Chain A
Amino acid sequence: MDYIAQQVINAFQLGSIYALIALGYSLVYGVLSMINFAHGDLFMLGAFTCLLLEAIVPIPLWIVLPLTMITIGFLGALLERLAYRPIRNAPRVSAIITSLGCGLIIENITLAISPYPRHMPTLLQNSTIHFYGITISFLQILVVGVSLTLMLLLDFIIRFTSLGMAIRALSCDRVMVSLLGIPANRIISLTFALGGALGGAAGLLYALAYPVISSSMGILIGWKAFVAAVIGGIGSIRGALLGAYILGTTEVISVTILPSTYRDLIAYSLLLIILVFKPYGILGEPPLQKV
């Protein structure tokens, strides 16, 4: 009983982290219909930023979290400005290649600076809570709690603020939005910042939960979140959450049954199977094709 409950919580924790990253992929895809492969590496930088900040001054979590989010949000916007804006009207293939390239640049710069995996210092006293015979660590509650709070915050921004309205309008018709006098460029930058901030937060939470961080995290974990976003239907916010929890659950189940080396195999096979039957993900809609 305790074991199963523990696995459920593990799945929920992993799913929440995936969801935070997947939201970044979906936000950008919604606005620019481009896959930002470099987003996984922003997530990785989130973990490293936190490490760096802690190495300079040991500061408590509630300060380091917003700082990390701001830094990574800024980097996300910068990435858009430097690499993606010049090719915005180029064929879509250019966008995929550019983002793939940017991801590798970020990853390998990190690799060159920090070639070996690093340990994250403990920011929290890890106490556990006993609840009807189930043991939950405070850390897990924190990861899930912070993730859910951030997701609700994003939902609020998208639904009720003028920025959110502009983002929704942009995903419908980019040309029209600029004709209406909405500063499309600024909104796009802000979308990248928003996605980056969520990715940064996810990086921090991941580093707390699994305290060994390395430059390959972007591809190992970040791309998993991308898989989650595609499973749910990329571009759809609800799809990203759905996909993230499906993937989190699948991975936790597969790790309990099979050796952990099968994790990637299972995740990407799941993606392939879902794309065969639902070519645009569970909640995604096929793009309109005009004859």
Chain B
Amino acid sequence: MEQSDFNDAHFLKVALLNKNFGGQRSIIDLSFHLNPKECLGIIGPNGAGKTTLFNLLSGIIPSTSGSIIWLNQEIQKKSAVQISYLGIARTFQNIRLFKQLTVLENIRIAYDTQLTYTPLDALLRSPHAIKEEKKSIHASMELLDLFSMTSLAYEAAGGLSYGDQRRLEIARALALRPRLLLLDEPAAGMNEAEMNKLMELLRWIQKEFTLSMLLIEHHMPFIMGLCNRMLVLDFGQLIAEGTPEEIRQNRRVIEAYLGEEEKNEF
């Protein structure tokens, strides 16, 4: 089953995707694809539509036109909940944890998608429900252990340090057992050492969970350490695609980042 997916060209394929906010076009005719087990980096200046793209992929906002094909299914009309069940998980640019809940509860809420008990089981607390609940606690604790956060399990998520909050958000996304992980600036606000640790962690996660990743990031060394291929967005359009080396030398990318004025000076 797993193997047959990898041979499929329609792992994730985005075609002519558009998103308009009123009159403003945030994503314009965007097409790209993602291969299984690949880590694809997405860069672009502020307001290029990177986060909007993630919101469209995860079903949080509806697209205006175009198609998103994920594992042979069109998902552009599906809700965020349906998409999370199809194996796409995400983190947010501005960390969105359930702040007043404990670290364990944060993980468990994502893990709950895998529990199979009925509302009646829940209300009467049947043996089946108790078994499932224990399973969920155990699996969540194991996941926390992989992130060496078991000692924080009963802390409120909002009270964690910034780096721990970022890591918890990744752990929470992994609790959904996703095939594709969307990471929105996971290294924002981190120093060099923290960034290296995070890079290690992500590499390890990708191998351990056989994941594909889409990664939005501004920090080039970070993205180059993880991705072999990257996309560059500017004003909602795809302006370049290729290996990090190719992107570095691409004139349009340099223009997009440095502006038209500087072009004449070089």
Query: Contact residues of A with B, CB < 8 Å?
Result: 291
The 3 closest A-B pairs by CB, nearest first: A291-B55, A291-B60, A291-B61
4 contacts between A and B (CB under 8 A): A291-B51, A291-B55, A291-B60, A291-B61
Query: Contact residues of B with A, CB < 8 Å?
Result: 51, 55, 60-61
A291 and B184 CA atoms in complex are apart in Å by 12
Q: Is the interface of A mostly helix, strand, loop or mixed?
A: loop
- Contacting residues, chain A, for B61 (C-beta < 8 A): 291
Number of residue pairs spanning A and B whose beta carbons lie under 8 angstroms apart: 4
Closest residue of B by beta carbon distance from A290? B94
| Distance (whole angstroms) from the CB of B100 to the closest CB of chain A | 12
- Contacting residues, chain B, for A291 (C-beta < 8 A): 51, 55, 60-61
- Contacting residues, chain A, for B60 (C-beta < 8 A): 291
Closest residue of A by beta carbon distance from B60? A291
A291 and B51 CA atoms in complex are apart in Å by 9
| Distance (whole angstroms) from the CB of B3 to the closest CB of chain A | 36
A259 and B61 CA atoms in complex are apart in Å by 48
- Contacting residues, chain A, for B51 (C-beta < 8 A): 291
| Distance (whole angstroms) from the CB of A287 to the closest CB of chain B | 15
Closest residue of A by beta carbon distance from B94? A290
A24 and B61 CA atoms in complex are apart in Å by 36
A291 and B60 CA atoms in complex are apart in Å by 8
A291 and B96 CA atoms in complex are apart in Å by 10
A183 and B55 CA atoms in complex are apart in Å by 39
A253 and B61 CA atoms in complex are apart in Å by 43
- Contacting residues, chain A, for B55 (C-beta < 8 A): 291
| Distance (whole angstroms) from the CB of A168 to the closest CB of chain B | 22
A291 and B90 CA atoms in complex are apart in Å by 13
Closest residue of A by beta carbon distance from B93? A291
A291 and B61 CA atoms in complex are apart in Å by 9
| Distance (whole angstroms) from the CB of A219 to the closest CB of chain B | 34
A45 and B61 CA atoms in complex are apart in Å by 47
| Distance (whole angstroms) from the CB of B163 to the closest CB of chain A | 23
Closest residue of A by beta carbon distance from B92? A291
Closest residue of A by beta carbon distance from B96? A291
